[in-house]
Structure 1
Amino acid sequence: MNRHLAAASLLAGPLLAAVATFFWDGDRYGVTAGAILMYSTVAWIYGLLAVWTRIGERRPWLGALGALLALAGFAGGMAFSLQGFFEGLFDVSGPASLAAAADHPVAAALVLWIPGPAFPLALAALGAALTWTRLAPRPLALLLIAAAALFPLSRITRTDLLAHAADLLILTAFAALAYLHLRTDHPTPVPATP
């Protein structure tokens, strides 16, 4: 994979996601934020797959499973972005949207409720995998894990301050990851810290 394009992807994806939060319509994504978030997932996945490929060079099964988890997480992100987009477009409230989803429990589970939690799980898994393979410093891995914990809390409670904090943690972690990715094609492991 092209490392410059991957690094740009690692920056553009979380940056667009952070921008989308500023365009929430009340406590929901809405048309503008939903559209921005949709393009965030498209921008982000290339770089994330490049990182999981590097992890896979050291731990093939871990890299493959991590890439699948990342894809599932971004499928959930895409679904929620489009849900917000269409709620805003058709002027449907959040409760009405959830009630409509409840009328289709299997489809809602497959589209929203199963892939939705995969995104924060993918962030936590990435932090753990980077630590295990020693491809990133432990503080970066811990930042990813902290972001993975804060992200669902911020989206479930629909709290602006928490959402911006989660976005900032994610953006900071991925900016550092983009820098590490650019540093070399095949980085040497980071020495273990006591």
Structure 2
Amino acid sequence: SSSILAPAASGETAPTLRSAPPSKGPTSAMSAILARAATRAAQRSAVQQQVARASSTWASRANPVYPSPWNKWFPYEPVPSTPKVGPYRVHLNNTETYFYCTCGESATQPFCESGAENCAKCPEFKSMPFTPKDSETATLCGCKKAPGVYCNGACISLYADLNPGIACLVGFSGCFVSGALLTYMFHP
């Protein structure tokens, strides 16, 4: 129990101490906080064990794996390897059917060496067959983050995740320059 200082009564020279009434509020609040902290720690350890299991399968791959925040939280979805941050420029013939590698482990990137079958290195992935409309030199996704075969620029967000300092510098300088130009253009 805590004590507080009581004012000196008339005729007394030194102050006296009296006991404060016990309060149940702080102790029950503290026990609730500790219980919440314990449940959160248990949840975090369960998620970390799942991520560790997923990371152990990722570590056995030849190419690096960059999981998204979703894959870190939900490790049961297969994550493709990223053999190249950027697109592949390849010449495609419209008379052939190509099999695009979705796992990122094929030695003949961006095409799958297994053909129409499941991947031999990562059986949870299957190649994506496609036939181009025209014979052309196309950009195929190298980071394996695009939803289709062709590169849609998803590698820019992956590059920003891998190099946050450069991404912040480019973003800030772009906003600063555009703000300065707009200020100059709209100045009376």
Do the structures match in fold with TM over 0.5? Answer: no
Q: Structure with the greater relative contact order (CA < 8 A, sep ≥ 6): 1 or 2?
A: 1
TM-score (norm 2): 0.20
Which one has a larger percent helix, Structure 1 or Structure 2? 1
TM-score (norm 1): 0.19
Larger Rg: 2
